[in-house]
Amino acid sequence: MTNSSCLFLQDGNLHNLRPHTLTYYSNELMSFRKALETLELDTTPAKIKPDHINQFIIYSKDVLELKIVSINTRLRAIRAFFNFAYKHGYIPKNPFANIQLL
């Protein structure tokens, strides 16, 4: 996730997102990547499937014991990244296309 996530953060900086927002995106993308690694799933954006996201949600609820509002906060950041990656042609399909917040 490194190259396209860097481009995502650079794009946010270009569009004058607040430093706090860029830090939020960066932290949530790192948390997502670490969770996928823990679950032994591929972290390459083009290989992420909706099932990976569902596994991330279950992991966040059951293992990390995050509250729904915290999971939704993470999902919003991750969704923003995948929307960017899809819009700019870095991935062929958006795995978040049919994923809803909890």
C-beta pairs of 21-27 under 8 Å, 24+ apart in sequence: 24/77, 25/77, 25/80, 25/81
One-letter amino acid identity for 7?
A: L
pLDDT at 71: 96
In a domain, 102, yes or no: no
Top pLDDT among 11 and 46 is at: 46
- Alpha-carbon span 68 to 85, nearest angstrom: 25
Q: State the total domains in the chain.
A: 1
In a domain, 97, yes or no: no
Q: What is the pLDDT of residues 56-102, one digit of tens each?
A: 999 999 999 999 999 999 999 999 999 999 999 999 999 999 999 99
- Alpha-carbon span 63 to 56, nearest angstrom: 10
In a domain, 37, yes or no: yes
44 is in which domain, residue-wise?
2-87
In a domain, 94, yes or no: no
pLDDT at 2: 54
Can you tell me the mean pLDDT for 25-40? 94
Is the pLDDT assigned to residue 32 strictly greater than 70?
Answer: yes
- Alpha-carbon span 83 to 26, nearest angstrom: 15
> What is the pTM for the complete model shown?
0.86
